[in-house]
Amino acid sequence: MLYLILFGAPGSGKGTQSDLLVEKYHLTHLSTGDLLRSEIASGSPLGTTLNEYISKGNLIPDAMMIEMLSKEIDKHASTSKGFILDGFPRTVEQAEALQQMLSNREGSNVLLLEMTVEKDELIKRLLKRGETSGRSDDNLETITKRLEVYEAKTKPVNEYYKTRGLHVGIDGMGTVEQIFDRINQTLKQKI
Ligand code: AP5
Ligand code: MG
């Protein structure tokens, strides 16, 4: 079973490329951000708490995210051809927990694709999306914070996969189609 981690800073194109990959390879897309936003949209008390973290650009506590992702994998494992993980793992602790989860599942094939995009381009993309997205975190102040949190807490996850030979870098600059082609070239060689 393939576990393809689409990794990169806010605005690097994780969601956009996930949609294209799902269409082509029929994988199950698990986006922790989308799961959190649907909880917020439900109007539950939990959603209100989650939105306090998200609107400030802070990460949700690891334990909660690990439980959420683990449940989603369990839910789809028997019917899925493989997973795209978008937005998880986002800390080294989450990477360790994922490794632990998958060690109990035979034949797990993990690959992390890191999409790298220049900071100015990330901000430009997110501000543009913020004009219509309604996302509480698509404003300049929160975007700035999200990028700081990415550098401090999330980027170190790359090393975790590099040392295990499970990391590939993808140039995330250019058109959506160009980036999708690069990802496909990599997948041809790796899976
Ligand atoms: P999450 O929803 O994961 O957001 P993010 O990582 O900040 O990333 P985005 O969804 O904003 O960007 P993306 O990389 O998906 O890019 P997209 O394709 O949309 O997380 C939100 C929050 O939830 C976190 O801040 C945290 O609080 C919490 N959270 C989530 N997971 C967590 C976890 N595991 N642990 C703890 N907390 C967690 O593209 C962006 C825009 O650019 C779009 O408008 C798109 O159309 C456009 N675009 C895409 N590609 C291109 C291109 N090549 N050229 C021009 N425009 C492009
Ligand atoms: Mg996204």
Residue 191 pLDDT exceeds 90: no
Would you say the CB of residue 6 lies under 6 angstroms from ligand 1?
no
Q: Residue 18 in contact with residue 124, Cβ under 8 Å? A: no
Ligand 2 ion: Cβ-proximal residues, 5 Å cutoff: 14-15
Tell me the pLDDT tens digit for each residue of 59-116.
999 999 999 999 999 999 999 999 999 999 999 999 999 999 999 888 899 999 999 9
Instruction: Please report, for residues 13, 19, 179, 181, the alpha-carbon distance to residue 175 in angstroms, rounded to integers and kept in the order given.
Output: 10, 15, 6, 10
pLDDT at 31: 98
Closest protein CA for atom 30 of ligand 1: 33
Residue 123 pLDDT exceeds 90: yes
Average pLDDT, the chain: 97
pLDDT at 190: 83
pLDDT at 106: 86
- What mean pLDDT is predicted for residues 6-13? 98
Tell me the pLDDT tens digit for each residue of 19-59.
999 999 999 999 999 999 999 999 999 999 999 999 999 99
Q: How far apart are the first and last CA of the chain?
A: 10
Residue 154 pLDDT exceeds 90: yes
SS3 content of the chain, % helix, strand, coil (to 5): 55, 15, 30
pLDDT at 118: 98
Tell me the pLDDT tens digit for each residue of 129-152.
999 999 999 999 999 999 999 999
Would you say the CB of residue 13 lies under 6 angstroms from ligand 1?
yes
* Residue 185, CB-side half-sphere exposure with 13 Å CA sphere: 10
Whole-number Å distance, alpha carbon 106 to ligand 1 midpoint, is 30
Q: Greatest CA separation found in the chain?
A: 46
CA distance 66 to 121: 30
Closest protein CA for atom 50 of ligand 1: 13
Instruction: Please report, for residues 14, 57, 98, 99, 123, the alpha-carbon distance to residue 104 in angstroms, rounded to integers and kept in the order given.
Output: 27, 33, 10, 9, 39
Out of 19, 29, 34, 36, give the residue to mutate to test ligand 1, the one with the largest number of ligand atoms within 8 Å of its CB. Answer: 36
